[in-house]
Amino acid sequence: MIVQLSKKPKNPIIIEGFPGFGLVGNISTEFLIDHLHAEQIGSIKMEESSPMIAIHDGKVIHPIGIFYDKASNIVIVHVIANAQGIEWKMAEVIAKLATDLQAKEVICLEGVVGAEDDFVRSFYFTNQKNSEKKFESIKIDKLREGIIVGVTGALLLEKDLPVSSIFVETHSAMPDSKAAAKIIEVLDKYLGLDVDYKPLLKQAEEFERRLKSLIAQKNAVADEQEKKRLSYIS
Amino acid sequence: MIVQLSKKPKNPIIIEGFPGFGLVGNISTEFLIDHLHAEQIGSIKMEESSPMIAIHDGKVIHPIGIFYDKASNIVIVHVIANAQGIEWKMAEVIAKLATDLQAKEVICLEGVVGAEDDFVRSFYFTNQKNSEKKFESIKIDKLREGIIVGVTGALLLEKDLPVSSIFVETHSAMPDSKAAAKIIEVLDKYLGLDVDYKPLLKQAEEFERRLKSLIAQKNAVADEQEKKRLSYIS
Amino acid sequence: MIVQLSKKPKNPIIIEGFPGFGLVGNISTEFLIDHLHAEQIGSIKMEESSPMIAIHDGKVIHPIGIFYDKASNIVIVHVIANAQGIEWKMAEVIAKLATDLQAKEVICLEGVVGAEDDFVRSFYFTNQKNSEKKFESIKIDKLREGIIVGVTGALLLEKDLPVSSIFVETHSAMPDSKAAAKIIEVLDKYLGLDVDYKPLLKQAEEFERRLKSLIAQKNAVADEQEKKRLSYIS
Amino acid sequence: MIVQLSKKPKNPIIIEGFPGFGLVGNISTEFLIDHLHAEQIGSIKMEESSPMIAIHDGKVIHPIGIFYDKASNIVIVHVIANAQGIEWKMAEVIAKLATDLQAKEVICLEGVVGAEDDFVRSFYFTNQKNSEKKFESIKIDKLREGIIVGVTGALLLEKDLPVSSIFVETHSAMPDSKAAAKIIEVLDKYLGLDVDYKPLLKQAEEFERRLKSLIAQKNAVADEQEKKRLSYIS
Amino acid sequence: MIVQLSKKPKNPIIIEGFPGFGLVGNISTEFLIDHLHAEQIGSIKMEESSPMIAIHDGKVIHPIGIFYDKASNIVIVHVIANAQGIEWKMAEVIAKLATDLQAKEVICLEGVVGAEDDFVRSFYFTNQKNSEKKFESIKIDKLREGIIVGVTGALLLEKDLPVSSIFVETHSAMPDSKAAAKIIEVLDKYLGLDVDYKPLLKQAEEFERRLKSLIAQKNAVADEQEKKRLSYIS
């Protein structure tokens, strides 16, 4: 795994969104990048999963892109690659990035399996007293019982790393723009970003729609690859 | 595998409880930690299995946590991670821990498959003459014929390590608080811990209930991951 | 992976065609080699996939052959081997080849899953402003939304490598000479090769027919191997 | 793989019994150890297969134990571990043991698939002229056509190692005490051990019974492990 | 992979017969060894596939044996082991053997999938002009279109190695003595060995019969191993 960075912001907040339930991590970090007009300052090359890039609006979307918004001093790690099987390594890389940039905090955005009703609940978990106070003051519930897997789980075990995570309930593995909108709402309050809420849900729906189409395309590709493997070259 | 320790107690008894039948190891070590108000003094990082932490009462439960009760000089190794495939390594790490701390004894708590009736039978096995006498004096039966697998099996092959194991019959892979209560009873007699028995079964039931809910949550997560893998990114 | 080259052309255009949907990459690079009377100047030995050679017209076709046409200064990488699982390495090898030869551009020929109608659509994607202009001038559409996997996906992430890709829609994993003919048409316009179109489709059909027979033979071999494994030696 | 030896007998005969058809190797080496009152002088630690010990008569049975009978100068390698996938290594270890102890001969005890009738046939194979004469003199048939797999097969390829193997027909994978008794009979004649035959079959039946119960227990463990894996921790 | 040789013939012709369709390679090299009374001068130890030896006529048949006939200066590589997955390595080993012995030519004997009729067709392929002429003079057809996999495929890619292959059509994975007889006929003409044809087919049938019995035995072993694995030790 190789991290390439053209800029090295100092003391930023790092926000990471790995693909997860409802692809909440993808949609919300993508929204943030768009909303903040963040510029790409780097990428992480991860040869452990097979190469896949997305083309969006005629531009290459890296498997793992690193973006930066100077005004808010926020670094966003946007991930479309699959981290399954290399979560420990991935967490190490992000922890190292945080140390190198002397990041104030790493914030993980995560969808979790929730009850299937209309109300979207959200929780936080943090290893920082300060952050705990801030979350309480904006009236977010703390996660008191549960299981956390993947990169976020591994990051929360990093002893000297200030890590907070925002969880939002979602109901399936398909892209869920409503849950992503909710996570942005919590993040906005927590960081005081002053996001204009009106376009948010609409834009998130737009991402959802596009992701679904990509998924369909990806599945078609996978199906064909499977067939091809069967029919041509072993 | 990395062992992190903030304290190094001298000549303790080490009690380990790996997940096993009836999750007896988990429930009983968790009960002990609670009952003795043991403090966490370390953890074992094991990158061989994928990251998973539990949140309990708003606190992080490490995949493998090391706890200490000064009054009784007991070190407890509490495990929620999966050791399958790395049992030899795990046994080595625990043997090294025992050597480093000059532990008096390592006690393994294990559920075994038993006949399905109401009476919960328990057995011991030990490679120490002294321990054998103690077990006999409290009228526990020795395991005379059987097969022992996993970390406990590997520990019993460590030539110079004083190892005892307490086995208790259980009937399924689901959390079994009754079997865990039984193992605590035997351990209490063996170590003279003076555990108040009244709350024990109730508390164990509480753990059982919580574990079952975690399991349900974990399974939901696994199901969704499976689906996600099928539907999005290979 | 070992690259063997008997000649080192300077500043060529490199065209690569990995097996993909409709085997478009194979058919079109094979057509080009024939049409340009390109000579084989090397091969890439790739021990990661099991050995397979084709015999065509009594001559050995290498798993990955490197051909050269001096007149047009074009290097063609012709691939019948399976690159699945080693796409990153393969991309690195091609990128290194491009650097060593100071190639002007790498052009990837790719089939993509398309709607099933009679009209064969084609797209381009490039990381070069110049190439973008050229493609626009010959009225090829840019790929604006999509997912690109495999060696081509990996090549487009190579920072300092000028890469263009021509995509053509195809409908199945079976050899599709019509799609291959379309890609040659686009490539011809893009590079000004002055290909005589009349024999093209016919010749491509010839390749398609032969490939289909090879596939049938390969499948028979695979079936028999499977049976043999079951019946003789494990 | 680590060999631990507390004694180093000189010029012994080494007898090995790996688990095989009818578990003939296990039962017969176990009988020999009992009959000769052989003492354990070592063990082989083999971390390639997952840890499993047996408890027999309140004592630990090592995955691979090395026993010694001084009177007859016989070393017995008793194996309950699974050598599948590491047969070459295992054969190397035994060959090295033989070289270190300057063993006169290695004798392998093996069950082979036989016709299902009441008569139990036995065969020998050897790479030593002397041994061949001895086997012929006690009227055992030489194996003339057949396939030998596993550790015994690998040992017979060791160029400078005197190896003999006694094969006995058995009909299933379940423990077969009758076949084991037959192999002991042949071994007794071959080595002139003067085994009292009366208790042999009875004792072998005893081993068979116990092994079957262990197998049942082992399967129960395996089933539960499978379930547990499905229901708790991945 | 280790090559052991007790003699180093100079400038021999090397004939290799890997197991393949109809086990043509096995049967024909075995026939040749018998017919020429070739002596075993070495073997290749290949720990990548699990140990298996055959006993034939009371003698050990190595997984890969190297035989030599001085009169005709022919080295025969006789293979009963499975080379699947290590074809590249195997080809390298044979190429090195050829270089070490300064072999005049390597001749591969291969069964290929053929149409199911009574006539047995044969083909050749070679990378040597001289050999091509010889094959044409004895009126064997050149393979003009096809796919060659496995060790033979890999050998034909060895740049500086004179390699010829004789292919004969066969219809299944079961031993096919008729196809083997055909390949010997071609080889005899090509090398001028003056083989007496009368006993050939009969002897080949004998080999076929014996191989079929070995296969049945091998399958029985495999079945039992499978069962054993399920029922005893994991």
The 10s digit of each residue's pLDDT in C180-193 is: 889 999 999 999 98
Average pLDDT rounded to a whole number, residues B199-221: 74
Q: Which segments within chain B are labelled E, that is strand?
A: 2-5, 13-17, 39-45, 52-56, 59-61, 64-69, 74-79, 105-113, 122-126, 141-142, 145-149, 163-170
Place of tokens 């991945």: D234
Cβ separation B52–A149 shorter than 8 A: yes
Which residue among E19, E151, E154 places its CB closest to the CB of C232?
E19
Higher pLDDT residue, D57 or C223? D57
Average pLDDT (A125-133) is 95
CA distances from D133 to D74, D105, D126, D141 (A): 21, 14, 10, 11
Q: D221 to chain B: which residues are within 8 Å by CB?
A: 113, 147, 149
Question: Which residues lie closer than 8 Å to E134 by C-beta, 6 or more apart?
Answer: E190
Q: Which segment, A100-109, B170-179, E118-127, is predicted with the most confidence on average?
A: A100-109
Beta-carbon contacts of residue E174 (< 8 Å; ≥ 6 apart): C231, E22, E23, E212, E215
Residues 6+ apart with CB under 8 A from C98: C14, C106, C161
Q: Which of A145-149, B42-46, B224-228 has the highest mean pLDDT?
A: B42-46
Mean pLDDT of chain D: 87
Find out whether A151 and A16 touch, Cβ atoms under 8 Å.
yes
How many H helices and E strands in chain C?
6, 12
Of B113, B148, B215, the CB nearest to D232: B215
- The beta-strand segments (E) located in A6-137 are 13-17, 39-45, 52-56, 59-61, 64-69, 74-79, 105-113, 122-126
Residues of E engaging D, defined by a Cβ cutoff of 8 Å: 4, 43, 45, 47, 50-58, 60, 62-63, 210, 213-214, 217-218, 220-221, 224-225, 227-229, 231-234
Residues 6+ apart with CB under 8 A from E137: none
Question: Is it the case that residue D88 has pLDDT exceeding 70?
Answer: yes
Report the pLDDT averaged over residues C150-156.
93
Question: With 70 as the cut, is the pLDDT of residue B225 above it?
Answer: no
- Contacting A with CB below 8 Å, chain C residues are 19-21, 23, 49-50, 52, 80-82, 84-85, 87-88, 91, 113, 125, 127, 142-151, 153-154, 156-157, 159, 172-174, 215, 218-219, 222
pLDDT at position D233: 33
Determine which of A126-135, B73-82, B153-162, D199-208 has the lowest per-residue pLDDT on average.
D199-208
Question: Is the pLDDT confidence value at E48 over 90?
Answer: no
- At A9-55, the pLDDT tens digits run 999 999 999 987 888 898 899 989 989 999 999 999 988 888 889 88
pLDDT at A230: 40
Asked if pLDDT for residue D98 goes beyond 60, the answer is yes
Q: What does the pLDDT read at residue B204?
A: 75
Q: How many CA atoms lie within 13 A of D43 on its CB side?
A: 15
Pairing of strands D141-142, A163-170: unpaired
Q: Would you state the pLDDT for residue C40?
A: 97
DSSP letter at B22 equals G
C117 pLDDT above the threshold of 50: yes
State how far the Cα of E4 lies from the Cα of D126, in Å rounded to an integer. 21
Q: Is residue D135 classed as helix, strand or coil in its secondary structure?
A: helix
pLDDT of res. A71: 95
Residues of D with a Cβ under 8 Å from any E Cβ are 19-21, 23, 49-50, 52, 80-82, 84-85, 87-88, 91, 113, 125, 127, 142-151, 153-154, 156-157, 159, 172-174, 215, 218-219, 222
Contacts (Cβ under 8 Å, ≥6 apart) of A35: A195, A200, A203
Considering only CA atoms, which of B222, B217, B171 is closest in space to residue D224? B171
Q: How far is C72 from chain A (nearest CA, A)?
A: 30
For residue A63, pLDDT over 50 is answered with yes
The pLDDT value recorded for residue C230 is 40
Q: Residues of A with CB below 8 A from C127's CB?
A: 60
pLDDT at B199 > cutoff 70: yes
In chain E, the percentage of residues whose pLDDT exceeds 90 is 53
Query: Which residue from A4, A50, A233 is facing C149, i.e. has the nearest CB?
Result: A50
Beta-carbon separation of B50 and A82 below 8 A: no
**Measured in whole angstroms, how far is the alpha carbon of residue A112 from the centre of its chain?**
13
pLDDT higher than threshold 60 for residue D224: no
Instruction: Return the minimum-mean-pLDDT range out of B123-137, C206-220, E143-157.
Output: C206-220
CB atoms within 10 A of CB D216: 12
Q: Kindly list the residues from chain E whose CB atom is less than 8 angstroms away from the CB atom of residue D172.
A: 224, 227
Q: Any idea how long chain D is? A: 234
* Contact at CB, C157 and A232, closer than 8 angstroms: no
* Interface contact flag, E148 C218, Cβ < 8 Å: no
Tens digit of each residue's pLDDT (9 = 90 or more) over D173-186: 678 888 888 999 99
Q: How confident is the model at residue D21 (pLDDT cuts 50, 70, 90)?
A: confident
Instruction: Please report the pLDDT score of residue B231 as a whole number.
Output: 38
Residue E223: predicted pLDDT? 63
d(CA D52, CA C52): 43
| Other Cβ atoms closer than 10 A to B112 | 25
The pLDDT, as a whole number, for residue C42 is 96
Which of D43, D52, D60 lies at the smallest CB-CB distance from B149? D52
* C147 with A60: Cβ contact below 8 A: no
Q: Rounded CA gap, B179 and B169, in Å?
A: 7
Report the range of poorest mean pLDDT among C20-24, C68-72, E104-108: C20-24
Q: How many CB pairs under 8 A join C and E?
A: 95
- Verify whether the Cβ–Cβ distance B113 to D58 is below 8 Å: no
Which of A73, A84, A71, A58 is closest to A151 using CA atoms?
A84
C55, C54, C233, C81: which is closest to E25 by C-alpha?
A: C233
CB contact under 8 A, A88 and B51: yes
pLDDT of residue A137: 96
Question: Residue A189: which pLDDT band, with cuts at 50, 70 and 90?
Answer: very high
Interval D5-31 mean pLDDT? 92
State the first-to-last Cα distance of chain B, in angstroms, to the nearest integer. 29
Per-residue pLDDT at A127: 93
Name the closest residue on chain B to residue A170, using Cα atoms: B224
> Does B113 sit within 8 Å of D55, measured CB to CB?
no
CA distance A215 to chain B (A): 5
Residue C187: the pLDDT is: 95
Q: pLDDT by residue (tens digit) across E196-208? A: 767 777 877 887 7
Average pLDDT over residues B63-88: 93
Q: What is the pLDDT of residues C160-180, one digit of tens each?
A: 899 999 999 887 767 888 888
Calculated CA dihedral for residues C57, C58, C63, C68, nearest 10 degrees:
-60
Q: What is the mean pLDDT of residues D34-57?
A: 91
B48 to chain D: closest CA residue: D234
With beta carbons under 8 A apart, name residues in chain A contacting C91.
51
E230: confidence class by pLDDT, cuts 50, 70, 90: very low
Q: What's the confidence (pLDDT) of residue D178?
A: 86
Cβ–Cβ below 8 Å for B224 and A125: no
Nearest CA in chain B to A147: B54
Tokens of A93: 């890389």
CA of D153: how far to CAs of B153, D87, D148, D196, E52, in Å? Answer: 30, 9, 5, 31, 6
Residues of chain E contacting C218 with CB distance shorter than 8 Å = 147
Contact between chains at C231 and E21 (C-beta distance less than 8 A) = no
Whether B3 contacts B77, CB under 8 Å: no
Task: Determine the number of helices (DSSP H) and then strands (DSSP E) in chain B.
Answer: 6, 12
pLDDT at E221 over 90: no
C190, containing H or E segment: helix C177-191
The token pair that represents E168 in the structure block: 């004969």
Q: From CA E171, how far away is CA C228, in angstroms rounded? A: 12
For A58, nearest residue in chain C (alpha carbons) = C144
Between A125 and E216, where is the model more confident?
Answer: A125
Cβ-defined contact of D234 to B148 (cutoff 8 Å)? no
ipTM for the whole predicted complex goes beyond 0.95: no
Torsion of Cα atoms, B173 then B175 then B176 then B177, to 10°: 170
Q: Flag if A55 and C143 touch (Cβ within 8 Å).
A: yes
Alpha helices in chain A (DSSP H): 24-35, 87-100, 129-137, 150-155, 177-191, 197-231
Q: How many CA atoms lie within 13 A of D166 on its CB side?
A: 34
Of the candidates C191, C229, C226, C220, the one whose C-alpha atom is nearest the C-alpha of residue C35 is C191
Nearest to D148 by CA among D133, D160, D164, D134: D164
Mean per-residue pLDDT for B62-72?
96
Residue B117 vs residue C140, higher pLDDT: C140
Smallest CA–CA separation between E188 and chain C, in Å? 23
Q: Is the pLDDT of residue A225 over 60?
A: no
Q: Which residues make Cβ contacts (< 8 Å) with residue C145, sequence separation at least 6?
A: A55, A56, A57, A210, A213, A214
Whether residues C233 and E142 touch (CB distance < 8 A) is answered with no
